[in-house]
Amino acid sequence: MYLDDLTFPYLAAVLLKQFVKKHWQEDEDAFEPPVVSSAEKEIIRRMLLLTLDDPHRKICTAVGMSVASIALYDWPESWPELLPFLLNLINNQTNLNGVHGAMRCLVLLSADLDDRMVPTLIPALFPSLLTIVSSPQIYDTYIRTKALSIVYSCISMLGMMSGVYKTETSSMILPLLKPWMDQFASILGIPVQSENPDDWSIRMEVLKCLNQFVQNFSSLIKSEFEVILGPLWNTFVSSLRVYEQASIEGTEDSYDGRYDSDGAEKSLDSFVIQLLELLLSIVGNPRLGKVVVANVKELVYYAIAFLQMTEHQVHTWSVDANQFIADEEDTTYSCRISGILLLEEVVNSFGDDGVLAIIDAGKQWFTESQIRKAAGSASWWRIREATLFALSSLSEHIFESEESGFETSSLKHLVEQIITEDYLIGPLEHPFLYARIFISVVKFSSVISSGVLEHILHAAMKTITMDVPPPVKVGACRALSQLLPEANNEIVQPQLLSLFSSLTDLLNQASEETLHLVLETLLAAVKAGRESATLVEHVISPVILNVWALHVSDPFISIDALEVLEAIKCTPGCIHPLVSRIMPYVGPILNKPQEQGDGLVAGSLDMNAPGDVIKAIYDICFDAVIRLILQSDDHSEIQNATECLSAFISVGRQEVLVWGSDSGSTMRSLLDIASRLLDPNLESSGSFFVGSYILQLILHLPSQMTVHIQDLVAALVRRMQSASEALTSSLLVVFARLVHISVPNVGQFIDLLISIPAEGHANSFAYVMSEWTKQQGEIQGAYQIKVTTSALALLLTSRHNELAKTQVQGHLIKSGMGITTRLKAKSAPDQWVMLPLQTKIVALLADGLSEIQEQVLAGDDEDSDWEEVQADGIENAFSVSTSALGKPTYEHLEAMAKIFNEDQEDQYEDDLLSIADPLNQINLANYLVDFFINFSQSDRQLLDYICKSLTETQQNAIQTALRR
């Protein structure tokens, strides 16, 4: 191998950098002995500085990296001569090699600045940097660009410091403003040059510096800002033509994907993105945005032009639908995305004026594109596509303006005019414009006339069946997935069979990115045409099953596939043939789980949902599911298998015992499963659904479970002592349900708990109640809340002596020691007031009443879960009278309870339990009110005594109930 004269010096410098990292500083994480002695450090530092002016750039860079790495440890305290030496180098105009070496070193050093270094560096360094930047006749663009990158690093650090050291940073910034703004204006005032990456790079550093000034020091630069506006606008406008020629039309070199010798990006795109980001910062700044509002129409007009597809994007997306989808859906690093973000900021900052500017710019570009088209321009379609892209991307913001009274009829007319004119061109002539029409129609479907929508829907259904470029099919799928659910059945039905056929073919060809979109479209088609779906179920289902099996480990695609199967299942006449196809897939997988790929076993269990064919599923799967839970170490398999068993019990109930050949054997298997899931050595993730499973056993096999209650309770306690918080909550629901089952002998159930030991506690009752009272407020789901809350009331109603003896956690004692650091937390852990159990239970029940009131009072919050509550319910809740003291009356509470009960059909609810358990019919507010009234009547003295320990909110909730 040939080694030139530069190889060894360069290698030595690189090795020295590694040596410094490992041996320079003893208290560093990467340190390895021996440590470099002080004398050796002195020699190394001196020798390195002497080589900074090496004429070879590669060696200079390596030496600069070593100097910068040492400076992090030694400068300024142990290396005070470093900065003066570097300043001497950069000020020596006769030694440009030295200037380059010192500049490279300072660039690296400035990238790792901290608030200790900046106050020393800026006053000493910035005058020299200003001289370099302002002397293009002496220093080349590369050195001037690096000088600006140092300025950027320092200003960025000052910006971070300004939050804490506002006065100090302001005093450092003020003297810099005028001279630097003048230099920035000088650089930006010259029109942007074509095919000149050095010109783009120096401008980009200027833009980055300005962005830091705008974001962190806008109050200081406002007076100097007008100096920048004209040159900045000149750069913005002149860069568009360069961008169109190089990136959009591809007739000039855009230097895409290329970097300078220091690794800095030099492409035109990166410069334009930085330009758009600066404009976004200016528009979004409350002080500076006012300066540009007068020219917002021109700003938006040019910004839309930057959204045009580049030649590179056209080439890539034409052959790669995956990339087209990914770039459309993700916030990628591109001029299109940066331009949209700028336009969004225009709307957010300028409101209706911003929306009007966007609509006017859209009209202007539509007219301009027509002129270009008439003149025979081959790229006329790009600006038309960019206009639609801008309008559709901002549609939500525009509609929000419409809700506040802004008139958008001109927008509706513009969008319809573009769509009706351009969809006639066909999908092959200008495929990306055709695809954008489909995507835009989805965004504006609420304002587009039904006639236009029907035409587009028809065109989309036809396009799916044609041989067209991938982006066009992507656009058609997006249109169909959104339009089919609302479509006129008479229009849809005649074409559905061919649509199903084409979508099935697409599914066979689709790759991972496009699968989601095709499955989404197929789901919409199945729901839209039930009769047709019945006819083609035998074609669709096997393909969907195959997709599911291939992608079962991908949660997004597998869920999409299952949703399509669910829609087919819900189609009349499809469930039995569908199940007959599913079972041949599932049976072999479950019987030989060790031979399956990742996720396939767990996914197969997840498919067992159809209730009316559960017996057929049981016959094939029951033994395999039992073996899986008993033998598998895969937690997702155990979870899904547990849910599967719960479904068997929920649907089959007592009959599940006679579905097999031996009812005794079936019951023993079910108990073995409970034992396995309650094993303290099994991780909580594996036992995640054990609570729901045991509840199914208790509810549906009560006579068989009665004889095992004591063993079950002991196992539940042991499991709970090693469980995660989420698992503990589900096990507490089981204890609560056991309390209900024990009525009217709740005291006997308490005695049972007292008789069972619990490690670290007096008995299991003390342990369970300590956990229950701590977690009651965290329990989620309407069913779970009803069961646990009412069970606490039953425990209190029992008047068992242990209720007064058992102490549980009350409220946290505030230390008053200020901020709690880790050290404080270690030396003085949290302390809690201890309360009698009966007092804590009353407090929790009062909290339950208060929460119902709070939920309704939050009902007018647009972001809350109450948006879908019926309006008459809300009105009723707030129209009932209140007492003279302003506290809610019982009628008010009852109305709130009604709303609370309706709204709790949420994601936490276990459908199998809520449907089967009569406790789910409890009206919680009425239940609690009745409880407090009965408690007051039976032992008012005890209630009054307990209330003395409650908060005012809790006392008010109880008093409201008692005023019934």
- Tens digits of per-residue pLDDT, 781-825? 889 999 999 999 999 999 999 998 999 888 777 655 444 444 444
Give phi and psi for 265, each to the nearest 5.
-70, 140
Two tokens at 125?
């360094």
Instruction: Supply the angle between the helices 380-393 and 352-374 in degrees, to the nearest 10.
Output: 160
Tell me: the pLDDT tens digits for 87-111? 999 998 888 888 988 888 888 888 7
Tell me: the pLDDT tens digits for 398-456? 888 766 666 668 888 899 999 989 888 888 899 999 999 999 999 999 888 888 999 99
- Average pLDDT score over residue span 270-281: 96
Other Cβ atoms within 10 Å of 278 Cβ, number: 26
Q: Which of 392, 384, 449, 394 is nearest to 423 (CA)?
A: 384
How far, in Å, are 201, 337, 665 from residue 274 at the CA level? 10, 12, 71
Which residues neighbour 456 within 8 Å (Cβ) at sequence distance 6 or greater? 419, 423, 437, 438, 441, 479, 483
CA-CA-CA-CA dihedral for 272, 273, 277, 278, to nearest 10: -30
Give phi and psi for 551, each to the nearest 5.
-120, 30
pLDDT for the residue numbered 859: 52
pLDDT at 265 over 60: yes
Tell the residue number behind the tokens 């006053």, with chain if given.
123
More confident residue, 569 or 85: 85
More confident residue, 302 or 664: 302
How far, in Å, are 9, 601, 626, 632, 637 from residue 591 at the CA level? 66, 10, 11, 12, 13
- Average pLDDT score over residue span 931-940: 90
Which residues neighbour 814 within 8 Å (Cβ) at sequence distance 6 or greater? none
- H or E element: which one contains 769? helix 764-775
pLDDT at 918 over 60: yes
Per DSSP, helices labelled H in 574-724 are 575-591, 600-606, 614-631, 635-652, 656-659, 663-677, 690-700, 702-706, 709-720
pLDDT for the residue numbered 860: 44
Report whether 173 contacts 118 (CB < 8 A).
no
Most confident by average pLDDT, 263-272, 474-483, 612-621:
474-483
- Average pLDDT score over residue span 579-607: 58
Distance CA 247, CA 253 (A): 8
Distance CA 221, CA 163 (A): 17
Whether the CA torsion 779, 780, 783, 786 is positive or negative: it is positive
Distance CA 805, CA 809 (A): 13
pLDDT at 826 over 60: no
pLDDT at 573 over 60: yes
Angle, alpha carbons 81-83-87 (nearest 5°): 115
Two tokens at 900?
């609370």
Tell the residue number behind the tokens 């039904």, with chain if given.
450
- Average pLDDT score over residue span 313-325: 89
How far, in Å, are 898, 902, 918 from residue 921 at the CA level? 12, 11, 6
pLDDT for the residue numbered 403: 65
Tell the residue number behind the tokens 């809790």, with chain if given.
954
Tell me: the pLDDT tens digits for 46-80? 988 988 888 887 787 788 888 888 888 888 888 98
Identify whether 34 is preceded by a cis peptide bond (ω within 30 of 0).
Answer: yes
pLDDT for the residue numbered 585: 64
Instruction: Supply the angle between the helices 746-755 and 725-742 in degrees, to the nearest 10.
Output: 130
How would you classify residue 508: left for phi > 0, otherwise alpha for psi between -120 and 50, otherwise beta? alpha
pLDDT at 15 over 70: yes
pLDDT for the residue numbered 609: 46
Instruction: Supply the angle between the helices 489-509 and 530-550 in degrees, to the nearest 10.
Output: 20
Residue 871: strand, helix, or coil: helix
pLDDT at 248 over 90: yes
More confident residue, 212 or 549: 212
Report whether 537 contacts 577 (CB < 8 A).
yes
Under the banding of pLDDT at 50, 70 and 90, the label for residue 249 is very high
Distance CA 871, CA 878 (A): 11
Report whether 911 contacts 905 (CB < 8 A).
no
Which residues neighbour 849 within 8 Å (Cβ) at sequence distance 6 or greater? 893, 925, 928, 929, 957, 958, 960, 961
Whether the CA torsion 647, 652, 654, 657 is positive or negative: it is negative
Angle, alpha carbons 639-644-650 (nearest 5°): 125
pLDDT at 889 over 50: no
Q: Residue 906 has what DSSP assignment?
A: -
Per DSSP, helices labelled H in 632-661 are 635-652, 656-659
pLDDT for the residue numbered 613: 67
Distance CA 372, CA 174 (A): 49
Two tokens at 44?
């190394």
Residues paired with residue 761 on neighbouring β-strands, in sequence order: 758
pLDDT at 705 over 70: yes
Distance CA 768, CA 124 (A): 68
Quickly count helices (H) and strands (E) in the chain: 47, 2
- Average pLDDT score over residue span 925-947: 90
- H or E element: which one contains 808? strand 807-813
Distance CA 513, CA 506 (A): 13
Residue 611: strand, helix, or coil: helix
More confident residue, 388 or 820: 388
The percent of residues above 90 in pLDDT, for the chain, comes to: 42
Under the banding of pLDDT at 50, 70 and 90, the label for residue 858 is low
**687 HSE (CA, 13 A, CB side):** 28
Two tokens at 752?
């049972």
Distance CA 748, CA 629 (A): 33
* pTM exceeding 0.75: no
Distance CA 540, CA 526 (A): 10
Tell the residue number behind the tokens 């409101």, with chain if given.
351
Which residues neighbour 378 within 8 Å (Cβ) at sequence distance 6 or greater? none
CA-CA-CA-CA dihedral for 420, 421, 422, 427, to nearest 10: 80
- Average pLDDT score over residue span 909-936: 80
